[in-house]
Amino acid sequence: MVTSSAPGKVYLFGEHAVVYGEPAVPCAIERRVHVTATEIDEGLRIHANDLQLDGFTVEYTGDGESHPDVDVAESLVEAGMGYVNEAVAQARDAADAPEAGFEISVEGDIPLGAGLGSSAALVVAAIDAATRELGVELPASEIADRAYQVEHEVQDGQASRADTFCSAMGGAVRVEGNDCRRLDGIDTLPFVIGYDGGAGDTGALVAGVRTLRDEYDFAADTVAAIGDIVREGEAVLETGDYERLGELMDFNHGLLSALGVSSRSLDSMVWAARDADAHGAKLTGAGGGGCIVALDETDDALTALKYTPGCEDVFRAELDTDGVRQE
């Protein structure tokens, strides 16, 4: 029995623009998914006890049918099952053990579907735990690559390398197309995350940006300006100047708003954090609902968000310099 964990992430800069070849900077956060893998005779049993939803157990049997014992939205269960299923397939492939059976238990404290990279963390931790259980230790970069293959498969080719790479490697990373690398020397970033309890429709949001960008030159320029913010932000990151980082986050949020991917609750949370003197705040992820990330080393933004209508959950989540790891 092996337990591995992997972190979720926020986008410090660059979501949406990254789709068009601009760089982005996702950062791993101190919120993790834990996956325990135990080799069994055959098949696959999945227990998800605390993915911020009611627990469920799924058993894959020899007849190829799955028998979920569930009390939650089927789409969420199927998504979770799909990720674990493909992650285990990657582990079997990596360990050259095609017939290996597994019992997989999942626990996590990352809100699901909130744009915090819960599925990438699940896949990364599952691949690591299952391969270790089979006696194989993969380098983080290979786990990142295999996890990307899983997301690519499960998400019908719509995956980005950003989430899986960030979760596997930890820290602040830079993603530009297929080129992913860790940004060295970034040890601490005081993130506060506000969550409105909802989630946007990622596909529709990405499509909306594409339509604007195709139709209007100024929208294409806005996407390019986000890329420039990322390049500026990389340089500022090295200096540890939170004031300027926050200024760039604020600007990035405005450009995302212009591209139509913010929402009433996201803007409300962003303003709550700014009015509480956070260095800066922006939505993180696809938008349309979900999470904002603020930069604040005090408790003020956290407290302000706690009392902001529409903010369902708020927590501090420092930059996590650890990626995937055995527990």
| Binding stretches for a copy of itself (CB under 8 A) | 212, 216-219, 221-222, 224-226, 228-229, 232, 250-260, 262-264, 267-268, 271-272, 274-275
Query: Whose structure tokens read 């790891």?
Result: 325
- Least distance in Å: CB of 28 to a copy of itself? 26
163, 250, 296, 320: the catalytic one is 163
What whole-number distance in Å separates Cα of residue 27 and Cα of residue 321? 9
User: Is 190 known as a binding-site position?
Assistant: no
What whole-number distance in Å separates Cα of residue 127 and Cα of residue 105? 13
Q: Which is nearer to a copy of itself, 80 or 289 (CB)?
A: 289
Q: Which is nearer to a copy of itself, 97 or 258 (CB)?
A: 258
- Least distance in Å: CB of 317 to a copy of itself? 24
Q: Which is nearer to a copy of itself, 79 or 258 (CB)?
A: 258
Helix (H, G, I), strand (E, B) or coil at 7: strand
- Least distance in Å: CB of 229 to a copy of itself? 5
Q: Which is nearer to a copy of itself, 256 or 293 (CB)?
A: 256
Q: Which is nearer to a copy of itself, 246 or 323 (CB)?
A: 246
What whole-number distance in Å separates Cα of residue 230 and Cα of residue 9? 16
Work out the burial of residue 86: count CB atoms within 10 Å of its CB; fewer than 13 is exposed, 13-18 middle, 19 or more buried: buried
What whole-number distance in Å separates Cα of residue 210 and Cα of residue 215? 8
Work out the burial of residue 179: count CB atoms within 10 Å of its CB; fewer than 13 is exposed, 13-18 middle, 19 or more buried: exposed
Give the CB-side neighbour count of residue 211, counting CA atoms within 13 A: 8
- Least distance in Å: CB of 203 to a copy of itself? 20
User: Is 167 known as a binding-site position?
Assistant: no
User: Is 319 known as a binding-site position?
Assistant: no
Helix (H, G, I), strand (E, B) or coil at 156: coil
The answer to whether residues 27 and 319 touch, using CB atoms and an 8 Å cutoff, is yes
Helix (H, G, I), strand (E, B) or coil at 255: helix
User: Is 220 known as a binding-site position?
Assistant: no
User: Is 117 known as a binding-site position?
Assistant: yes
Annotated catalytic, 163? Answer: yes
User: Is 97 known as a binding-site position?
Assistant: no
Tokens encoding 177: 């197309």
Please state the φ and ψ torsions of residue 10, each to the nearest 5 degrees: -125, 160
- Least distance in Å: CB of 235 to a copy of itself? 12
- Residues catalogued as catalytic: 163
Binding residue numbers: 111-121
Which residues define the annotated binding site for ATP?
A: 111-121
